[in-house]
Amino acid sequence: MPACPRCDRPISSSAVRCPHCNLELAAHGHAGMVLHRATDSTPLCATCAYEADNSCTFPKRPTAMTCTLYENVQAPPEPAREEIYRIPWQRKYSFQIALLIIIVLSLLAVSL
Ligand code: SF4
Ligand SMILES: [Zn+2]
């Protein structure tokens, strides 16, 4: 069970606000909208990819302590689509392998 970043008490993973200290946990009242929060006195912008490439237009920049768009510039890159959906060759060619086995067995049966 997750804990509140302010009071460290257990909270529901779908909580929009902490029921103990009333800290806002999700942006704009939507549980699915992640509100990133600085863990110390350093603003999120200092490690944000949008600050690094100078593409952020949020008015809170460069001192945002909370942000919905924060992307850690040091986060590992997202895996490529081909890596996510890689199919093992045995599965990819299972039909061809099965067909080849049937043909070989048929040829063996004919030759006997
Ligand atoms: S997206 Fe948010 S954290 Fe990133 S630079 Fe803009 S305001 Fe800062
Ligand atoms: Zn709390």
pLDDT in tens, 38-58: 999 999 999 999 999 999 999
Whole-number Å distance, alpha carbon 80 to ligand 2 midpoint, is: 37
Q: Which ligand is nearest to the CA of 24?
A: 2
pLDDT at 21: 94
Q: Would the pTM count as exceeding 0.85?
A: no
**Is residue 36 scored above 90 in pLDDT?**
yes
Residue 9, classed as helix, strand or coil, is coil
Which protein residues touch ligand 1 with a CB less than 6 Å away? 44-45, 48, 50-51, 56, 58, 60-61, 64, 67, 69-70
**Is residue 60 scored above 90 in pLDDT?**
yes
The amino acid present at 9, given as its one-letter code, is: R
- Asked which of 6-15, 20-29, 78-87 is least confident by mean pLDDT, the reply is 78-87
Say how far apart CA 91 and CA 95 lie, in whole Å.
8
pLDDT at 45: 97
Q: Which of 42, 39, 37 is nearest to 67 (CA)?
A: 37
Whole-number Å distance, alpha carbon 24 to ligand 1 midpoint, is: 18
Which position has the higher pLDDT, 4 or 82? Answer: 4
Omega before residue 10 within 30° of 0, cis: no
Atom of ligand 1 nearest to the CA of 45: 8
Whole-number Å distance, alpha carbon 67 to ligand 2 midpoint, is: 18
Residue 56, classed as helix, strand or coil, is coil
